[in-house]
Amino acid sequence: MRLSFLVSVLLAGGLGVRTARAQRVIAQDTLSTATPAAISCGFCAGERYGVVFRELAPGGLQPADFPLTIRSLRVAVASARVTGSAPSFRCEGLTAGGSALADLELWAGSEVPSALEGIGPDDPWTPGEELLWAAADVPLMKSTAGADGASELEAGFNELQPVDEMAMPVRVGADARYIRAVVRIREGDAGSSASCAAARQNPPSIFPLRDNDGLIAGERSFIYAGSAGWLWNEDVGIAGDWAIRLEIRSDGAPSSDAGPGAMDGGPLSDGGTADGGVTRDAGVAADGSTIEPSETGCGCQTTPDPAASWPALLALLWLRRRVTGECR
């Protein structure tokens, strides 16, 4: 398999876009101009996180959607750093952005296992799960803190268009019932994470963004944390879903169409229940210490961005909006 992708950039303020028939964006997260989000600062190089896109009402990936074509993969990451020392590490968003490298994978299968123990980092989750697409050293633009360094974040989604050996969009067969997207964090700049240094691990290239609405759907978002292996977010107290999305075109029954007015946004997603005030997060350092928000902030409550009319460019999809709030 040739590991290829096309990257494009779109500057926009809102999340809502009209989709063609049977083509829509599937979002497990609820990151939007009306819902909160957060940066998770507890990751080190080599760790992974991702989302299982599966049946979820309303707006989720439905059995009737298969077979389907993957039009794009969208990922939002952040520019941040962890300072301090155990047991009081602090997370803060940075005004310096740019790009950083990550590895990306898309898998498809028919049944998601509830128990993830014993599955290796590069192994399929089930014997029938298939690797659809993988790409190494993908440059992702990082969302940055506002110019005042206080309570704003210029949050955006990178959009990648996976293609196969023939430079055609990746297709998923009729027998599949879910798609699993995985982001592997590469080694980043020295000094970007005091908590990783304290644990004698390499610093991360990126910090994941997630929603922070107090809702989480079970067995959707997950992490891979070294010796602990694969873990569902809800099992480790991560109170949100990762900002990873798929744009798909259903090649199945017409009834799978979300309709011409379907919206690209998370408010129709999640489908979970309140997480009961769980306080642990991926922002817990490798040695178990808590990573606290900094005074500058870096998690988010989104507000409209005046850049809504900026045009699409053929080089990296960047959905930009301002957000405010706290780091995790």
* 19 vs 115: CA distance, rounded Å: 36
The total domain count for the chain is 1
What is the rounded CA–CA span in Å between residue 195 and residue 85? 7
The span from the first CA to the last CA of the chain, in angstroms, equals: 38
- Spell out the alpha helix ranges (H) of the chain: 194-198
The DSSP symbol for 311 reads P
Three-state DSSP at 99 gives: strand
Contacts of 227 (CB under 8 A, 6+ apart): none
How far apart are the C-alpha atoms of 57 and 73, rounded to whole Å? 21
Residue in the block written with tokens 């028939």: 21
Q: pLDDT of the chain along its 328 residues, tens only?
A: 334 444 433 332 333 333 444 789 999 888 876 777 788 999 999 999 999 999 865 667 889 999 999 999 999 999 999 999 888 899 888 888 899 999 999 999 999 998 899 999 999 999 999 999 999 999 999 988 776 654 566 778 999 999 988 889 999 999 999 999 999 999 999 989 999 999 999 999 999 999 888 777 789 999 999 889 999 999 998 888 999 999 999 997 554 344 333 333 333 455 433 332 222 243 555 444 556 655 443 333 332 232 222 222 222 344 444 444 444 5
Looking at residue 260, what is its pLDDT?
Answer: 32
Domain that holds residue 252: 4-324
Residue 37, phi then psi, degrees to nearest 5: -145, 175
Strand 170-172 with 80-85, pairing: unpaired
Asked if residue 60 lies in contact with residue 235, where contact means CB atoms within 8 angstroms, the answer is no
